[in-house]
Amino acid sequence: MANGFDYASYKGYDEIGQLPAKRVKGHKKIILNAFVMFTPNHLNFGLSKHPKHADFGRNFAQMKPWQDLARKLEAAKFHAVFVADHLGIYDLYRGGKDAETDSFISLQKKVQFPCHDPLFLVPTMASVTDHLSFGITVSTSYTPPFTLARQFSTLDHLTNGRVGWNIVTSNSDSAARNFNRDSQVAHDDRYKVADEYMDVVYKLWETSWGEETVSKGPKEDTYDASKIKSIDHEGEYFKVKGPSITLPSLQRTPVLFQAGMSSAGRSFAAKHAEVVFVSAPSPQLVRQTVDALRSAAGDRQIFVVCTLLVVVKATQEEAEKHYKELNDAGDKEGALVFCSQMFGADLAAFPPDLDLRKSDNAQVAKAVDLWASQTDTKDKLWNVDRISKEYTLSGRGGLALGDAQTAADAIEDWIEIGDVDGFNLSHATFPGTYDDIIEHLIPELQKRGRFHTEYAEDEKTFRERLYGTPGDPYLRPDHYGHGFKT
């Protein structure tokens, strides 16, 4: 493990083993989310000057491109916008600085730098939509639980119940150094802290204000003060008096996402997550993770969404030509900046002709060996150059490439072989990738009965739409957090 981050374990790949390929039965309807970040380039390194992305690259910090996207996604019946985040720079590659100019390499390459606060995208996009939901990444490592509970209650009110929280624990030393620390907390310890953190926010959301605390009168709301209580939490990591000073929102607890796939992460997800976000290059590989998650969750229903880049055009030839154009325009060194951080190792330090599966760095060797084993080029040289090419578009996630029929076939493979419930759809260009998906892919999925054609009007909140339970916006009775209700 380098830099405190076990990449292979994080992704859920503890052993390569025999990968399952048996298709799951049943005809699932698919969850589709747009996967974005409040930055010029998310997982599309080097494309900030591409003709179909340059306008967004210049104006990403403004409201208009986000509101325009939100309107398009809602018209196409997307479920949600899932917004990633990070709190530090990517500083492992070449030590983080250009030796000649003393400037940040991650800024030179626009590798998720600059990066703005994702919470403020919610009211921006919610103000022009009625049904689209929002999953926002916020770290338990650097946001106090009282603050987070207040933020999400406020957003849930402002959106009429359309908010979800992607729970992360933060894994970089560069982020730690921005919050009065020299280094990150050890991996498993972060999950211990996060577990108690969840108890605190459940108490603030579910316990502090009892049922029927707020009465809606003809002229004003009234509050039953006897049903509002302090939470008096005193634990190993947190001491929070309470009470919550925000009104209970439509969902009380936002829809809970989580993405950590180590053994500690899987245990955390099985206890807390309603939607688990995974990433893998193939349906066969993601199936290992999905099976482990569903087994850990037992009888409790969880949804699994997977990262996917869809490059779809009117014809197969057009799609392949477009993909080549995008890939050729990508910044291979920018990809190395990103995946150096993910591997926890400076990839510039490895000899260019070294097959990384033979590296003395056990973490890098294991991760690359597993990655290569799931491709049709495992017998080729997997050196730093190869890694950069693989990572340039959409990182480590899957790819659906082709015309509408071919892309939809690939989607169905992920659903039936990978047993995922849907996708966080990344982009190569913004909003071009989503324009193509809306024009070509979604009508084909709807034709196959795989994607809804309308929002259900009696499902008002994010949770109601996720579970298909109109009139019930709260945590399910079998969820751990439900036990905090009073």
Strands (E), 336-434: 398-402, 422-426
Q: Band of the pLDDT at 183, cuts 50, 70, 90?
A: confident
Q: What confidence score (pLDDT) does residue 361 get?
A: 94
15 pLDDT above the threshold of 60 = no
How far apart CA 224 and CA 218 sit, in angstroms, is: 16
Q: Band of the pLDDT at 98, cuts 50, 70, 90?
A: confident
260 pLDDT above the threshold of 80 = no
18 pLDDT above the threshold of 90 = no
Count of Cβ atoms closer than 10 Å to residue 413 Cβ:
17
How far apart CA 272 and CA 256 sit, in angstroms, is: 7
Of the candidate ranges 140-154, 277-291, 422-436, the one whose mean pLDDT is the lowest = 277-291
Q: What confidence score (pLDDT) does residue 170 get?
A: 84
How far apart CA 269 and CA 259 sit, in angstroms, is: 8
Parse the chain into domains and list their residue ranges. Answer: 7-484
Q: Answer whether 407's CB lies under 8 Å from 314's CB.
A: no
Q: Band of the pLDDT at 3, cuts 50, 70, 90?
A: very low
Pairing of strands 239-240, 233-234: antiparallel
Cβ-based neighbours of 117, under 8 Å, separated by 6 or more: 38, 85
Residue of 308 and 214 predicted with greater confidence = 308
Q: What confidence score (pLDDT) does residue 219 get?
A: 67
Cβ-based neighbours of 295, under 8 Å, separated by 6 or more: none
Q: Which fold has domain 7-484?
A: TIM Barrel (3.20.20)
Q: What are the tokens at 210?
A: 């009892």
Compute the average pLDDT of residues 239-245: 98
How far apart CA 262 and CA 293 sit, in angstroms, is: 11
How far apart CA 205 and CA 256 sit, in angstroms, is: 13
Question: Which among 427, 292, 404 has a CA at the least distance from the CA of 11?
Answer: 292
pLDDT (tens digit per residue) in 358-387 = 999 998 998 888 777 766 666 789 999 998
pLDDT (tens digit per residue) in 150-164 = 999 999 999 999 999
How far apart CA 392 and CA 374 sit, in angstroms, is: 18
Q: Answer whether 274's CB lies under 8 Å from 303's CB.
A: yes
pLDDT (tens digit per residue) in 397-445 = 899 999 999 999 999 999 999 999 999 999 999 999 999 999 999 999 9
What type of residue is 365?
A
Of the candidate ranges 179-183, 249-253, 290-294, the one whose mean pLDDT is the lowest = 179-183
Residue of 159 and 108 predicted with greater confidence = 159
Question: Which among 309, 254, 313, 303 has a CA at the least distance from the CA of 277?
Answer: 303
Q: Answer whether 2's CB lies under 8 Å from 344's CB.
A: yes
Of the candidate ranges 172-181, 218-227, 446-455, the one whose mean pLDDT is the lowest = 218-227
Q: What confidence score (pLDDT) does residue 102 get?
A: 80
- From the number of C-beta atoms within 10 Å of its C-beta (0-12, 13-18, 19+), residue 14 rates as middle
User: Phi then psi for 416, rounded to 5 degrees?
Assistant: -90, -35
CA dihedral 412, 415, 417, 418 (to 10 degrees): 140
Q: Band of the pLDDT at 187, cuts 50, 70, 90?
A: confident
Count of Cβ atoms closer than 10 Å to residue 225 Cβ:
8
Cβ-based neighbours of 485, under 8 Å, separated by 6 or more: 206, 207, 211, 474, 475
- From the number of C-beta atoms within 10 Å of its C-beta (0-12, 13-18, 19+), residue 211 rates as exposed
User: Residue 310: enclosing H or E segment and its boundaries?
Assistant: strand 303-312
Q: What confidence score (pLDDT) does residue 184 get?
A: 84
